[in-house]
Chain A
Amino acid sequence: MTGDLRAGLPIPADELRTFVLARAAALLDVPPQQVPADRPLADHGLDSISAVALVAEVEDLLHRELDSDLLWEYPTVDGLVAYLAGAHEPGTDAG
């Protein structure tokens, strides 16, 4: 799976970041500006079901299959986007 993951993103990273922030905000039912990108989403009340839902939305956007536990490995928006952009090997950065 690593080769696939390092193939990069079909969209610019900042677009992905905006998307993830917007979707996380929708799942948390707060305005996007209230979702900090550098702190674990779980600290703001994102439960495990919403975490799986968020991964599924990212899957749909990027057209690639992701581990449903991805937010466990990369709990912040910034960490998740960096991972998806291929900046990290899987599992080397917990975000």
Chain B
Amino acid sequence: MTVDGESGGTGIRELPDAIEAVRRWAARRPSSDALIWVEDPGERRDERLSYAELDEQARAVAVWLRERCPVGSRVLLLYSPVRFIVGFLGCLYAGMVAVPAPLPGRYRHEQRRVRGIAADAEVAAVLTETAHLATVREFAAAGPLAELEILATDGEVGTDPGSWQPPSVHAGTLALLQYTSGSTGDPKGVMVTHGNLLHNTATLLETLRVPAGLRFGGWAPHYHDMGLMAQTLPALFAGSTCVLMEPVSFLKRPLAWLTMIDKYDIGWSPAPNFAYDYCVERISDEQIAGLDLSRWKYAVNGSEPVRVATMRGFARRFAPAGFSADACCPCYGLAEATVFVSGAPPRPLGVARVDAAQLAGHRFRPASGDAGIRELPSNGTAPEYDVRIVDPATRAVLEPGRVGEIWLRGPSVTSGYWRRPEATAQVLGAVTADGDAGYLRTGDLGTVHDGELYVTGRIKEMMIIHGRNLYPQDVEHELRGRHPGLGNVGAVFTLAEPDSSGDDLLVVVHEVTDPRDRPGLARLAGEIRHTVAREFGVGACAVILLRRGGVRRTTSGKIERTAMRELVRNGELTAEHVEVDARWRDLVPVQTTAARRPELV
């Protein structure tokens, strides 16, 4: 199937819209597999959808939508990852705007988030699948979605796909709202156009020199920019096949992911950094002996900070299964730039060894000795972007060797957030101090070294834990609402695990109303950890309870999370009560007023 020298990206940029990017394959290779939904990779239990079937189903959904809603309407998509694409294409075929969201699960935080997205986008209809129809109906009935029509697209749609008429769309027409930014209380939908999708997919396929015919696949969820635009759409736009499994199947048995890559001949599979560590921890030597990973050419690592140690550890562990270290493929991207920004074709992992002390002073200097070194992975090149490294405070473009905010300009950069002119103005259309205009401020810190992009950290307060974006405001809000013993002021932030480039240990610092109630404080600390785990699905490595006035705020009342983080790290905080995981005790050197040492749990 592979044509030597032909990139899978050839010609995509020149297409009129994303509908044509898929439809052309329904005409050219109607019976080829567009999608394979894998239930059990070991037993090869799966369902397949050809390009002709996908096209027909999308047309049926589009006709259904057009009978009910005007062109340009937003449509909420509540699916399991594997069934999602029919609804997504149905929206595009109808000239409407897809709004992907996770299925409202058991976490109240998630349910609130989906309701927030639906309200912000003012959706006109909901698409789902038979297996989740009852749950989605129940969810919709309890909220502002009660009046909306809901269709299970894998059931009886009841329309004639033959009556479908192509909508009048062009490169600038909105295709989807990508809600990966913004806290629960303030969701922000990135406006992605047909032109963005075409340009970004072509950029991804060309920058990484992905050969035509290479199969894509994985478990990255569709409501995440990486799952949709760095996994499914490149496969469909290039006329290849996308092989999908449920994220929870991976979480339960990471071996299933690698088995699927082997059995289904997948050459490209993306995952966040934690997934590679998870495989190393959870897959045994015997299981590795049964795998052949030699055809996995692109083990894409993105959506959370990439660790050199993770990629090396994964390559070493799976070398006996034929995995090539050259397949480790760190990429940089963000939803505001559709998804893909930079990467490199398969090659030995690019690593810069830099002086950690210099890095703390925002200078990127190759290290001389062996001590005080931080290893940073290269994120390759960004040939389709103008990249500037800018001082976030003065907006001055920094000279080479300095670390600053990464600014981007190019056709994949989106036009901003849905109906959020202020948030859009803060992030897009940025102008450098010397008057160069039209940049996206990424909020990420990094530098360009020898023509390649390195990401060193974030300046935004968003926390990325296991590939999920969490906002401190959301956690603080939930804690205040649930625990009356807490005062009004708290600060939630993350600390880095030792030897890592990501901050993924969550710390809760909070003021309490009654610091004298010692047994009450211990109970409260336990309850806080319970709430964080239950509502957000992450563990809190430490809970630190302070007297009133202990959490620093600016004169305007803004919580100074970064300052609190430094106080905790430097052991400059005295707390009324501290509960910290034994293994992270050294990271949280906080004294208590009652005891010299924090209580271990």
Chain B residues with CB under 8 Å of A39's CB are 526
Chain A residues with CB under 8 Å of B437's CB are none
In the assembled complex, B420 has its CB within 8 A of some CB on chain A: no
Could you say which interface size class chain A belongs to? Answer: 20 to 34
CB pair B530–A45 under 8 Å, yes or no, is: no
In the assembled complex, B1 has its CB within 8 A of some CB on chain A: no
CB pair B253–A43 under 8 Å, yes or no, is: no
CB pair A42–B252 under 8 Å, yes or no, is: no
Interface string of B568-583 (1 = CB under 8 A from A): 0000000000000111
Which B residue's beta carbon lies closest to that of A41?
Answer: B533
Partner of B530, one of A30, A40, A50, A68: A40
CB pair A45–B251 under 8 Å, yes or no, is: no
CB pair A53–B530 under 8 Å, yes or no, is: no
20 inter-chain pairs at a CB distance below 8 angstroms, sorted by A residue, are: A29-B583, A40-B530, A42-B530, A42-B533, A44-B601, A45-B529, A45-B533, A45-B540, A45-B601, A46-B539, A47-B537, A47-B538, A48-B537, A49-B466, A50-B539, A53-B251, A53-B252, A56-B251, A68-B251, A72-B534
Which B residue's beta carbon lies closest to that of A29?
Answer: B583
Interface string of B89-112 (1 = CB under 8 A from A): 000000000000000011000000
Would A43 and B251 be within 8 Å (CB), given that A30-B582, A49-B466 are in contact? no
Q: Which residues of chain A (28-78) have a CB below 8 Å from chain B?
A: 29-30, 39-40, 42-50, 52-53, 55-56, 59, 68-69, 72, 75
Would A45 and B581 be within 8 Å (CB), given that A53-B282, A69-B106 are in contact? yes
CB pair A59–B252 under 8 Å, yes or no, is: yes
Give Cα A56 to B534, complex, Å.
19
Closest beta carbon of chain B to A36's beta carbon, Å: 10
Would A68 and B248 be within 8 Å (CB), given that A30-B582, A45-B581 are in contact? yes
A contact residues vs B (CB 8 Å cutoff): 29-30, 39-40, 42-50, 52-53, 55-56, 59, 68-69, 72, 75
CB pair B248–A43 under 8 Å, yes or no, is: no
Chain B residues with CB under 8 Å of A55's CB are 252
How many inter-chain residue pairs (CB < 8 Å) link A and B?
A: 61
Best-buried of B248, B530, B533 by chain A (most CB within 10 Å): B533
In the assembled complex, B541 has its CB within 8 A of some CB on chain A: yes
CB pair A43–B529 under 8 Å, yes or no, is: yes
Chain B residues with CB under 8 Å of A59's CB are 252
Top 8 nearest A-B pairs by Cβ distance?
A: A48-B537, A42-B533, A45-B539, A56-B252, A52-B251, A47-B539, A43-B530, A68-B248
Chain A residues with CB under 8 Å of B106's CB are 69, 72
Main secondary structure of the interface of B (DSSP, over half): helix
Chain B: how many interface residues by the 8 Å CB criterion? 25
Give Cα A56 to B466, complex, Å.
19
Partner of A52, one of B252, B529, B582, B601: B252
Partner of B248, one of A40, A46, A52: A52
Best-buried of A40, A48, A52 by chain B (most CB within 10 Å): A48
Would A49 and B533 be within 8 Å (CB), given that A29-B583, A43-B526 are in contact? no
CB pair A43–B252 under 8 Å, yes or no, is: no
Would A42 and B534 be within 8 Å (CB), given that A53-B251, A53-B252, A56-B253 are in contact? yes
CB pair B537–A68 under 8 Å, yes or no, is: no
Chain B residues with CB under 8 Å of A30's CB are 582-583
Which B residue's beta carbon lies closest to that of A60?
Answer: B253
Chain A residues with CB under 8 Å of B251's CB are 49, 52-53, 56, 68
Give Cα A53 to B251, complex, Å.
6
Chain B residues with CB under 8 Å of A46's CB are 533, 539
Would A45 and B582 be within 8 Å (CB), given that A52-B252, A55-B252, A68-B248 are in contact? no
Partner of A42, one of B529, B581, B601: B529
Known pairs A40-B533, A47-B537, A69-B106; list 10 more (Cβ under 8 Å). Answer: A30-B582, A30-B583, A40-B534, A42-B530, A42-B533, A42-B539, A47-B466, A49-B466, A56-B251, A68-B248
Closest beta carbon of chain A to B165's beta carbon, Å: 42
Chain A residues with CB under 8 Å of B274's CB are 49
Which B residue's beta carbon lies closest to that of A55?
Answer: B252
Give Cα A43 to B527, complex, Å.
7
Closest beta carbon of chain B to A56's beta carbon, Å: 4
Give Cα A48 to B465, complex, Å.
12
Chain A residues with CB under 8 Å of B529's CB are 42-45
Give Cα A41 to B539, complex, Å.
10
Chain A residues with CB under 8 Å of B537's CB are 47-49
Closest beta carbon of chain B to A23's beta carbon, Å: 12
CB pair B533–A48 under 8 Å, yes or no, is: yes
Closest beta carbon of chain B to A80's beta carbon, Å: 15
Give Cα A40 to B106, complex, Å.
17
Best-buried of A42, A46, A52, A53 by chain B (most CB within 10 Å): A42
Closest beta carbon of chain B to A61's beta carbon, Å: 13
